[in-house]
Amino acid sequence: MKSQEYSTPDGFYYTRDHEWLKVEGDVCRIGVTDYAQKSLHEVVFVDLPKLGKVSRAESLGTVESVKAVSDYFAPVSGEVVEVNEALENRPDLINLSPYGDGWIAIIKPSALEAELVELMNSKVYSEFLRSLTAK
Amino acid sequence: MALKTQLFQYHVEHAHMFEFAGFQMPLWYEGIIPECLAVRKSVGAFDISHMGRIFVSGPDAEAFLNHLTTNNVAALKPNHAQYTLLCNSEGGIKDDLVIFKLEERPFLVVCNAGNRAKDLEWMTSNTGSYNVRIHEASNDVAMISVQGPRTARVLQSLCEGVDLSSFIRFDCRPVKMAGQECILSRTGYTGEDGFEVCIMNSTPDKPGQALSLWSNILRAGRELGIKPCGLGARDVLRLEAGMSLYGHDITESTDPIEAGLDFVVKLEKGDFIGKEAILRRKDEGVKRKRIGLKVTGKGIPRAECRILKNGRSVGVVTSGTFSPTLNTGIAIGYVQSMYSNMGERLSIEVHGRLLEAEVTGFPFYDPKLYGFRRVQ
């Protein structure tokens, strides 16, 4: 298999389950990482989260390829206030632009300062990916 | 330590690999979707060397195989193959097979990769007074499947002196392909027209011949857009065709009647293992039936999801996928017989959500547009 490179842009926070979070004023945009979309390959369905309260690490839904199903989890607690409805007809946006048009939801966080400490920055996450792929 | 097929070196350089039935196999090369579409629209090539190949010879070979399997081996013409089932004495399905009858040669039995050891053991333990010789040749023969409407055009250039249009579906014959001794059959597991090639005398330790024929096939098909295809596409294509996958849709606890495979059970042919039990089940009527379900909205059913009618559980999904040909979720499953009629509306529970679905026949696609019966 060809060796893979994974994009881990600066300015994003990352989880060990391969979600990303970007702070935008008083809300957070979330999605799944380049590593997640490359592992799933052709995304054909995204089960979007319901609007309303969520706790950190709670399952928000699934991202699915032809053969695989992957849960994604809330990187922080708060309230889902918006979901990316474009994914309903264009789930492949997750493959084409995981950190851009392939975003999944916007969360209004309730304990952001305490919970951000638990997340990785770009440098730590890319080291984490190296440790996974070195296996 | 996972097993390798003769084509392992090619796969490891080009594919996303996974383990299947103990083998390191390609899941996909470019992607499951383009590989499926290549087979439906043009042509694709699969390594199926992981499957089991058992030769049965001797004066009683035909009677022995007829005693073991549900289809009528005695009705099989030379140079023809048949789909059939191996059942236990309770009528449960031990495996599904293709038996090749080759002129003046032993019968060739092709079985599922995961059942290699089980089938060999079952055959050996049931020889009784039959004068037969059973020879497992899985590791001495490589196998490539080339599938899709343009398959014959691709393979014709590699078969000197043989007119492939003379092969009707399920015909099989020894042929030389690109100079190598092969058994060629017009068979497959995708619903499309296609051929399967057994490459004789090719072991995983000496894969040169198999690798060379594989690259010859890919080269011959290049202009028609041939794609190497992984087992991901193979599974989706067989599901779209409504074909059962052993271990999922058929097991030792399903019988041929409820699985809808009675077209390969020949009750008039004489005694065979499982016949009494199958007759009994047929008389009693089956409680559940294998059906196709097509999702009418968004969402993808998966194996083990519950099937419901008005909130009550009436069955279970045994295989589910997204269908690239139909652009929707499809599933094979079992439901109580009263809910198995075409057009019946049922729900499938997927991660706590209910998907609306409709019972459909097989294949899932329109046979006038896709598959070996398509209107050209």
Which residue in this structure is represented by tokens 């379900």? B293
Instruction: Out of B28, B31, B300, name the one closest to residue A64 (CB).
Output: B300
**What fold does the segment set B53-132 form as a domain?**
Alpha-Beta Plaits (3.30.70)
- The C-alpha of A88 sits at a distance from chain B's nearest C-alpha, in angstroms, of 8
B-chain residues within 8 Å CB-CB of A1? 12-13, 15-17
- Residue A87: which CATH number? 2.40.50.100
Q: Output DSSP code: residue B73.
A: G
Q: What is the dotted CATH code of the domain comprising B8-49+139-238?
A: 3.30.1360.120
| Contact between chains at B299 and A42 (C-beta distance less than 8 A) | no
pLDDT confidence bin for B226, thresholds 50/70/90:
very high
Q: d(Cα A105, Cα A86) in Å, to the nearest integer?
A: 11
Looking at residue B376, its pLDDT comes to: 73
| Contact between chains at B321 and A45 (C-beta distance less than 8 A) | no
- Average per-residue pLDDT in chain A? 95
B34: closest chain A residue by CA: A42
| Contact between chains at A88 and B16 (C-beta distance less than 8 A) | no
| Contact between chains at A67 and B324 (C-beta distance less than 8 A) | no
| Contact between chains at B27 and A67 (C-beta distance less than 8 A) | yes
Which residue in this structure is represented by tokens 């499957």? B51
Residue B183 vs residue A1, higher pLDDT:
B183
Q: d(Cα A116, Cα B26) in Å, to the nearest integer?
A: 40
Q: What is the dotted CATH code of the domain comprising B287-376?
A: 2.40.30.110
Which residues share a beta bridge with B354?
Answer: B349
| Contact between chains at B351 and A42 (C-beta distance less than 8 A) | no
pLDDT confidence bin for A3, thresholds 50/70/90:
very low
Is A47 part of a structural domain of the chain? yes
Q: d(Cα B302, Cα B110) in Å, to the nearest integer?
A: 28
Q: How many CB pairs under 8 A join A and B?
A: 46
| Contact between chains at B16 and A41 (C-beta distance less than 8 A) | yes
Is A32 part of a structural domain of the chain? yes
Residues A13-22 pLDDT 10s: 999 999 999 9
| Contact between chains at A41 and B235 (C-beta distance less than 8 A) | no
> Which of A66, A88, A95 to mutate: most B Cβ within 10 Å?
A66
Is A130 part of a structural domain of the chain? no
Say whether pLDDT at A7 is over 70.
Answer: yes
Which residue in this structure is represented by tokens 């970007």? A22
Region B327-336: what's the mean pLDDT? 98
Is A133 part of a structural domain of the chain? no
Question: Residue A133 in contact with residue A13, Cβ under 8 Å?
Answer: no
Residues B348-362 pLDDT 10s: 999 889 999 999 999
Residues B292-317 pLDDT 10s: 999 999 999 999 999 999 999 999 99
Say whether pLDDT at A2 is over 50.
Answer: no
Residue B367 CB contacts under 8 Å (≥ 6 apart), including other chains:
B373, B374
Alpha helices in B195-274, H assignment, sequence order: 208-220, 231-240
B317 to each of B24, B116, B229, B330, how far by Cα in Å? 27, 26, 25, 10
The ipTM estimated for the assembled molecules is 0.90
Cis peptide bond N-terminal to B324, omega within 30? no
Is A129 part of a structural domain of the chain? no
Is A54 part of a structural domain of the chain? yes
Q: Where do the structural domains in chain B lie, given as residue ranges?
A: 8-49+139-238, 53-132, 287-376
Residues B146-172 pLDDT 10s: 999 999 999 999 998 899 999 999 999
| Contact between chains at B300 and A41 (C-beta distance less than 8 A) | no
A-chain residues within 8 Å CB-CB of B232? 66-67
Looking at residue B1, its pLDDT comes to: 66
| Best CA proximity match to A78, nearest among A104, A51, A45 | A51
A-chain residues within 8 Å CB-CB of B236? 66-67
- The C-alpha of B99 sits at a distance from chain A's nearest C-alpha, in angstroms, of 30
Is A3 part of a structural domain of the chain? no
CB atoms within 10 A of CB A5: 11
- Average per-residue pLDDT in chain B? 97
Instruction: Out of B16, B32, B321, name the one closest to residue A1 (CB).
Output: B16
| Contact between chains at A66 and B321 (C-beta distance less than 8 A) | yes
Instruction: Out of B13, B17, B232, name the one closest to residue A66 (CB).
Output: B232
Q: What pTM was computed for the model?
A: 0.96
| Contact between chains at A45 and B298 (C-beta distance less than 8 A) | yes
| Contact between chains at B351 and A45 (C-beta distance less than 8 A) | no
Alpha helices in B143-293, H assignment, sequence order: 151-156, 208-220, 231-240, 275-284
Instruction: Out of B12, B17, B236, name the one closest to residue A66 (CB).
Output: B236
Domain holding A53, by residue range, is: 13-115
Number of domains, chain A:
1
B-chain residues within 8 Å CB-CB of A47? 299, 351, 353
